[in-house]
Amino acid sequence: MNKRLIILLFLSLLGQVWNSKAQGIEFEHISLEDALQMAAKEEKLVFIDFYTEWCAPCKVMTKNIFPLESVGNYFNKNFISIKLDAEKEGKGAAGKYNISAYPTFLFLNPKGDVVYLDTGSKPESDFIELGEKVIASLHDKYSLEKLNSMYAEKSEDESFLKIYIKKLKEYGQSPTEAIEQWLKYQTEFPNDHVRMMEFYLENITYMEVGGMAAKIFANNRAEYMDIATRMEAQRIEKFKLHMLANTRENAIRNNDVSKMKLFLDAYKALPIAMKTSGREPFYEMEYYQMKKDSKTYSALAETFMESRMNAKSIAEIKKEDLETYEKKRSAYEGMPSYYSAGILTKLKQGVQATEMIENIAKVGSGYLVLNEGRKEFRTLDKWIEYGYELIPDSYILDNLKAKLLMKQGKTEKAIALKEKALENWPDSDKKKVSIAYELKTMKNQTI
């Protein structure tokens, strides 16, 4: 090949590369922390496309909208752009910013504060308009960024707090703390007023135990029940359970040990009729796992598993599961497969056997995270082998065993078993994406 032809080929390839960069959004392959630093240097905002592998609208945006030259022209000028898989490398950031819908388009200032947030796929013009709204919001008197900066100074101002609460909800951010502050200082109406009851019902998703919201509710619950409609009364009856669920969810999302303790104490104080059967040991273990108290967690886990394994023999469990399957299968076989397939699979495997496998996986995963000793490894292996006697080809147990083998330094066996677990994992289960990512990480550790 002559020099002239080589030069022409090189220039052609260079032109293709330049054109590909000139068109569409230039997503940087860097971490969120690096993106924030880059944004600070270039005096831009950070744009994050939060997506998942299974999200169809996410794929539409990636294929049809992000590559457009008009979109790239606006976004490359104003933002440092990155993509984060909310179930893989972006899981921590998704939890921090309370991301639960996909795609979510999140815009941050260089300090990491939320400037704007929107969700769902959009056509070209709407997406460019979104970028324009983000930039315009920087000059908005009540932009979320400005309200965030004002919060410390105005945390006792009830008028400000109402505006702040509304804006936080609008942007998908938790207003729990702001609601607590508003309840302390509001003078708009008495705590036993119908308007306060309506405020509670409007914000049921954000209320937690242990604070002003719980105190006011407890003191005025009877009054709310008196003035409520029948439908409102039904929601009020379950309000404490909602507060408990919100507290636990936020504690786990933010790894907040003190909040988890509030939840656990409040749950233990519930009347037995309000508790979910069998959940208290799991909640206790969640708390001590979050606290990184391996001694207490391990004692609870070992007591729990021994009690479950000694309650019935494997033969008894299999016999009872078979009887349940024979009794119930005819009721589901005549139904559409999309509805009955999962139920029939669980019935065939065994309802009790499946529950036991799930217990082993849940308890065993925390046990493995907190322990390094051979004694604990043998204990966990005993639980896994017990589970295999119930369901020999359990992909859930294969996954747990792979983690155990990896921690024991048996890398090749761990990867092989993880591959087997992934192969058998149902496509309908969204956890499969996380398992695939874990497998990739395991393989990278061997390079």
- pLDDT digit string (tens) for 397-414? 999 999 999 999 999 999
Examine the domain organization and report whether 314 and 356 are in the same domain.
yes
Tell me if the bond preceding 392 is cis, omega within 30° of 0: no
* pLDDT at residue 5, as a whole number: 52
Nearest to 209 by CA among 183, 239, 188: 239
Examine the domain organization and report whether 32 and 79 are in the same domain.
yes
Examine the domain organization and report whether 310 and 352 are in the same domain.
yes
Within a domain: 441: yes
Domain boundary residue, one of 139, 166, 184: 139
Examine the domain organization and report whether 123 and 30 are in the same domain.
yes
Domain boundary residue, one of 226, 250, 267: 267
Number of domains the chain contains: 4
Examine the domain organization and report whether 131 and 177 are in the same domain.
no
Examine the domain organization and report whether 253 and 157 are in the same domain.
yes
Within a domain: 65: yes
Examine the domain organization and report whether 95 and 184 are in the same domain.
no
Within a domain: 312: yes
Examine the domain organization and report whether 119 and 176 are in the same domain.
no
* pLDDT at residue 391, as a whole number: 95
Within a domain: 4: no
Examine the domain organization and report whether 291 and 342 are in the same domain.
yes
Tokens of 201: 């019902």
- Residues in Cβ contact with 428 at an 8 Å cutoff, skipping those fewer than 6 apart: 342
pLDDT tens across 367-383, in order? 999 999 999 999 999 99
Instruction: Output the average pLDDT for the chain.
Output: 91
Query: Mind listing the pLDDT tens digit of every residue in the chain (447 residues)?
Result: 555 555 445 545 544 444 444 489 999 999 999 999 999 999 999 999 999 988 989 999 999 999 999 999 999 999 999 999 998 899 999 988 989 889 999 999 999 999 999 999 999 999 999 999 999 888 888 888 889 889 999 999 999 999 999 999 888 888 999 999 999 999 999 999 999 999 999 999 999 999 999 999 999 999 999 999 999 999 999 999 999 999 999 999 888 999 999 999 999 999 998 998 889 999 999 999 999 999 999 999 999 999 999 999 999 999 999 999 888 888 877 777 666 777 888 888 899 999 999 999 999 999 999 999 999 999 999 999 999 999 999 999 999 999 999 999 999 999 999 999 999 998 888 888 889 889 988 888 876
Examine the domain organization and report whether 326 and 289 are in the same domain.
yes
CATH number at residue 79: 3.40.30.10
Within a domain: 157: yes
Domain boundary residue, one of 233, 267, 301: 267
Give me the domain span that covers residue 300: 276-371
Examine the domain organization and report whether 223 and 329 are in the same domain.
no
Within a domain: 16: no
Examine the domain organization and report whether 152 and 85 are in the same domain.
no
Within a domain: 384: no
Within a domain: 52: yes
CA distance 323 to 282: 29
Nearest to 203 by CA among 167, 179, 184, 187: 179
